Structure 1
Amino acid sequence: MTLTLDGTILVPVADPDDGERTAAALAPYLTPSSTVLVVNVIEKAGGAPDKASVEQREEYAREIFERARGPLEGSAGTVETAILFGTDVVETIFDAAEERRVDAVVFEPREGNRFVELLTGDVARKLVKTASVPVVALPRNEE
């Protein structure tokens, strides 16, 4: 059975390498009718000082989007990008997914040992456990 993602797909990415790697993993599953919304969540500190200025983070997000667009060229009918702001990354992703009525949230799990996942809250695990729309975890490409 071959999976195709021909609806509207929300793709959360964390950094330029993640954006490019996830887009490359996603591209084979897209059709000309696919709409891909690549998002980067800028996590707000919730009252504490932020680690970087909003301008710095927005510039970083644009770099992420640029790297993600390359592998998607010619695979998806439409590629859109959005910077999201929130104190909870997963909640922010699903709020955007519901607001934009996406068909699925698609991501590629990143490497990390259990200790790091424990400290960071394991976003991938939370994405799957608290899903309000279908979630697709792409197979990792270990090139």
Structure 2
Amino acid sequence: MTLTFDGTVVVPAADPDDGEQTAAALAPHLTSSSAVIAVNVIEKSGGGIDKAPMEQREEYADEIFERIRRTLETTDATVETDVLYGTDVVERIFAEAEDRDADAVVFTAREGNRLAELLTGDVARRMVKEASVPVVALPQTDA
């Protein structure tokens, strides 16, 4: 069976390497009718002190998006990018997917150890458990 995404997919990326790896894994599954919405969620502290200056975080998102665009430029898919803001990364990703009437949220699980997963709340696991639209976890490819 060949998996293709003929509609809209939301692709969250946490950092430039993550974005590039996900785009590389996604590229073979795209068609001319595919629409990729690459997103980076800037987590707000909800009243506390943010982790880094907003401008610095937005520049980082631009770097993520550039790597995704470069990786997907050989496909016929349309690619949009959007910086999202929220206090809960997973909730914000699914809210965007619903707002964009996406067919799926697509990502590659990042490698990490169990301790890191426990400390970060394991976003990948939450994305699968709390899904409000279909979620596809692609295997990593060599980017």
TM-score, normalization: structure 2? 0.97
TM-score (norm 1): 0.97
Q: Is the 8 A contact 1:35 1:76 kept in 2?
A: no
Deviation at 1:53, TM superposition (A): 1.3
Q: Residue deviations 1:63-106, cap 9 Å, x none?
A: 10001111111314210000000000000000101011101000
Segments of 5+ residues of structure 2 without an aligned counterpart are none
Are the aligned partners of 1:7 and 1:35 in contact in 2 as well (CA < 8 Å)?
yes
User: Any idea what SS the aligned residue of 1:110 has?
Assistant: coil
Residue 96 of structure 1 corresponds to which residue in structure 2? 96
Matches within 5 A, 1:99-110: 99-110=99-110
For the structure 1 residues 45 and 78, does the alpha-carbon distance in structure 2 shift closer, same or farther, using more than 3 Å as the test? Answer: same
Q: AA paired with 1:72?
A: L
1:58-137 equivalence runs, <5 A:
58-137=58-137
Aligned to 1:47: 47
Is the contact made by 1:36 and 1:76 (CA closer than 8 Å) also made in structure 2? Answer: no
Q: Which residue of 2 aligns with 1:32?
A: 32
User: Match for 2:52: what amino acid?
Assistant: A
2:31 maps to a residue whose letter is T
Identity %: 70
Q: Is the 8 A contact 1:31 1:76 kept in 2?
A: yes
Deviation digits for residues 27-81 of structure 1 (CA, Å, limit 9, x no counterpart): 0000011000000000001111112111111111001000111111131421000
Residue 15 (structure 1) aligns with:
15
Assess if the C-alpha contact under 8 Å between 2:21 and 2:142 holds in 1: no
- Aligned-CA RMSD value: 1.1
- Unaligned runs of at least 5 residues, structure 1: none
Are the aligned partners of 1:27 and 1:76 in contact in 2 as well (CA < 8 Å)?
Answer: no
Letter of the 1:124 partner, please give it.
A
| Secondary structure in structure 1 of the residue aligned to 2:14 | coil
What secondary structure does 1:74 align onto? coil
